[in-house]
Amino acid sequence: MPPIKHLGGELGFLAILHTWGETLTHHPHLHCLVPGGVLAADGGRWIACRRRFFLPVRVLSRLFRRLFLERLLAAQAAEACASSAPLNRLATATPWLGRCVRCARSSSV
C-alpha cells in the first residue's frame, strides 16, 4: 500500500471472505482487521496512531462502498461473477442493479 500521509509509514490489513452465514446459507461478507498504526518507511519500527483516532471511518466507508460497487458492476457486465445456478438469478439486470443502487445509498458498508 502507499505510505500513509499522517503516520509516515505503510499500513497493512487482513481481510477474510466468508461466503456463508451462521445457518450455512449463502451470505458473502468480509471480515477485516486493520492495525492501530503503521510500519515505518525504514521497516524498523512501529508507529502507533493517536489513542482516540486512526482512520476517518465515514470517509473510508463511502470510498470503499463506491469502489467495491464500481468493480462489482464491471465484473457483472464482463460476466466475470460467479456462475453457479443459485446465483444466476441475481445476475438479471433489473433486480441485480436495483440491489446495487440500494447498497450505494446505504450508510453502512
**What tens digit of pLDDT does each residue of 25-76 get?**
888 888 988 888 888 888 889 988 877 776 677 888 888 888 888 887 787 7
The pTM of this model reads 0.49
For residues 51 and 2, membership in a common domain is answered with: yes
Distance from C-alpha of 109 to C-alpha of 104, rounded to nearest angstrom: 9
Any bridge partners for residue 3, and if so which? 10
For residues 71 and 38, membership in a common domain is answered with: no
Q: Is the pLDDT of residue 90 over 60?
A: no
For residues 90 and 49, membership in a common domain is answered with: no
Cβ pair 83, 63 in contact under 8 A: no
For residues 1 and 38, membership in a common domain is answered with: yes
The residue whose grid cell reads 441485480 is 96
Distance from C-alpha of 9 to C-alpha of 46, rounded to nearest angstrom: 9
For residues 64 and 35, membership in a common domain is answered with: no
